[in-house]
Structure 1
């Protein structure tokens, strides 16, 4: 069953108004007709089973048949801080991060990032990445659409993560896997978690020290060096396994 996201004020009186780009998608891409059923979420814990009842010029009406709390979100807020990779890797990273349960993604410009975006290019990229996040959220049946923030500088990102309960920074010189297992297995449901992933060239030593000073804990991901697009997915996969309650 196809899934769509709406704002809370689009729900009322036993029906839901679907607006924006989804109108064209439902009408012209999916070629749905009245009577067909869909799933709708508005960013909270509720999921609505609906029946399409009418097609308007700019909106589609759907009758609410049932409302349920499927509990599909992880019990912790996980924020992926991803230093800008080369090429189109960020699209893959955003897609997989959403599938694995990340609550938000923050693109970061660190010292060894090859990619440098001016304001206009950054706005275009972020818009594109948010579109990827929305598609991934629908495909993976998330209850929310994780947001992709504007690109942050390294120190700005550290400050943004300052109020999170657990702050992790994978680093090849961190203690071995025994320490990593102890650290990761100690994370509890309800805690917010920041995961900071470096670019292709890794972090500079000074950046690691700045992160340590900001409360980040270096963590090993094993004896092999992982690509930037692999490291974040590895941590998110581990956290999903540890935190998933049912």
Structure 2
């Protein structure tokens, strides 16, 4: 079943109707070639609900739907995961955002760290954020998320640590961290309703001073095992562990 995102005001629960506008209209009519009577899922990107609808009419500038029922138990994780990702090289950020959204991340925050090779000026950063947000939305549709995770503006490391300091559980996978038992205890301590921060370094890893700053702010270094993982793999692994714990 295909899923589409609309603005909250386009859903009329009392009137049992939904209107789809914008680029999705052409996609439904001319790419998917859908017809009246076919069922689609709609989300407003905010409340996590899934609105099951049937197509009533394919008009020139909109698609009119009949709201059939609301699926309350959506697919969102019961905790919010914030991925603080050190800026990687090339197009790796696109893959990181795509897979993080599929795994259930609530927000991705690009972070400029000491060992980041990539340096983005304000103009380039704005352009990248728009593209990355589009990738997040496409991944949310593909994985049938109830919300569209946001990609935040690029932050400095100090800004990221300050933001994370207010969260309930804060983790930083670090190649020099030891003790899988401590990692296991921290992962198992996660609870529904919490906000969880994950810090991932760029290709060159974290500068020792960054790890000191993180630990002073209550961010716990953890190990992901005996092997060194790439920057694009470490975040997936950590989110997957948390996903298993939260949904088990």
**1:132 aligned partner:** 135
For the pair 1:222 / 2:240, whether they are aligned, the reply is no
- Higher mean displacement: 174-183 or 87-96: 174-183
**2:8 aligned partner:** 8
**2:40 aligned partner:** 38
Q: How does 1:1-246 map to 2 (within 5 A)?
A: 1-12=1-12, 13-42=15-44, 43-245=46-248
Contact 2:48 2:145 survives alignment (8 Å): no
Q: How many residues align?
A: 245
Matched residue of 1:223: which SS?
coil
Please, what TM-score do these two structures have when normalized by structure 1? Answer: 0.96
Contact 2:50 2:74 survives alignment (8 Å): no
Matched residue of 1:163: which SS?
coil
Q: Measure, in 1, the Cα distance between the counterparts of 2:27 and 2:164.
A: 36
Matched residue of 2:165: which SS?
helix
Contact 1:4 1:138 survives alignment (8 Å): yes
Contact 1:41 1:48 survives alignment (8 Å): yes
- Higher mean displacement: 84-93 or 184-193: 184-193
Q: Which runs of 4+ in 1 moved over 3 A?
A: none
Q: Measure, in 2, the Cα distance between the counterparts of 1:28 and 1:158.
A: 46
Contact 2:165 2:219 survives alignment (8 Å): no
Q: Measure, in 2, the Cα distance between the counterparts of 1:125 and 1:28.
A: 29
Please report how far the alpha carbon of residue 186 of structure 1 lies from its aligned counterpart in structure 2 after TM superposition: 1.4
Q: Measure, in 2, the Cα distance between the counterparts of 1:103 and 1:212.
A: 23
Matched residue of 2:63: which SS?
strand
Q: Deviations over 1:92-146 (max 9, x none)?
A: 1111101111011101111110011111211111111111111111111111111
Unaligned runs of 5+ in 1: none
Please, what TM-score do these two structures have when normalized by structure 2? Answer: 0.95
Contact 1:176 1:222 survives alignment (8 Å): no
Please report how far the alpha carbon of residue 52 of structure 1 lies from its aligned counterpart in structure 2 after TM superposition: 1.4
RMSD: 1.2
